[in-house]
Amino acid sequence: MVRPHLPLNALRAFEASARHLSFTRAAIELCVTQAAVSHQVKSLETQLKVTLFKRLPRGLMLTQEGETLLPSLRDAFDRIAGTLEGLEGGHRREVLTVGAVGTFAVGWLLPRLAGFRAENPFIDLRLSTNNNRVDIAAEGLDYAIRFGEGAWHGVDAIPLLEAPLSPLCIPDIAERLKVPADLFKYTLLRSYRADEWPRWFEVAGLRQTMPVSGSIVFDSSLAMMEAALQGAGIALAPPAMFSRLLQSETIRRPFDAAVTIGGYWLTRLQSRTETPAMMRFRDWILGASEQP
């Protein structure tokens, strides 16, 4: 592919400035002067005939054109850095960056990662966790493991695991729960998806509406389960992600009824070409998800 002249110094100056939203902090990172960074960015804007930043009294703000350019540059520089790093030490190492919703990372992925590492010693895995709200492009992720129904704009999604939800609580509370209606005597813990408890009640045969005042909303099932462990209420969470707590009987599942709201999916940007490391991880996690 024949490329036009690429102003690499200017592109580096823009990318660093966009990450920091500051010419001064970008200059410190690049070991040049603030004036040099500002000049390089201005030169790039002149060449592209667009404005990439709005200059504010206390920093910078990306324009729409700047927001369009940044993900491609960040991905390119990350891949170059990963390739250079991988060539050091006599072995070709590959960097794989995966984001995962925290519940899945702690409850399913981490206990199995030793197997992936043993099979792929020259892949450097970088794992970040989130609360299911993730921007794959902005965070420079190769894959994101997220919870939902598999419909996200601009991404390919492969199903990994279903995650039915059931009430989970400490043994002291579980012993007092004889029928599902007894749940209304306690604080009900839930995610930001307000329909989860009502749908579970319907599956359990109850038509009663959950009292709004009797719930606490969490953005993470991990935090929700910690509240349940402290006796703050009853969590509606996927038992499969908390199997160790259930096996130790630290947490109990008082009722068998479960409701499926969504599942866990392996996702990547449709514009992202899969690397060998990505394909190895994809094949491994799909195989592991099929095992009991």
What is the per-residue pLDDT for 83?
73
Mapping DSSP to helix (H, G, I), strand (E, B) and coil, where does residue 237 land?
strand
What is the per-residue pLDDT for 223?
93
- Predicted confidence (pLDDT) at residue 268 exceeds the cutoff of 80: yes
Distances (CA, A) of 194 to 28, 155, 181: 46, 26, 19
Return the higher-pLDDT residue of 114 and 138: 114
Q: Which two tokens stand for residue 5?
A: 């002249």
Model confidence pLDDT, tens digit, residues 60-69: 999 999 999 9
* Half-sphere exposure (Cβ direction) of 29: Cα atoms closer than 13 Å: 16
Q: How confident is the model at residue 192 (pLDDT cuts 50, 70, 90)?
A: confident
What is the per-residue pLDDT for 257?
96
Q: Which residues contact 161 (CB under 8 A, 6 or more apart)?
A: 108, 240, 263, 264, 289
Q: How confident is the model at residue 169 (pLDDT cuts 50, 70, 90)?
A: very high
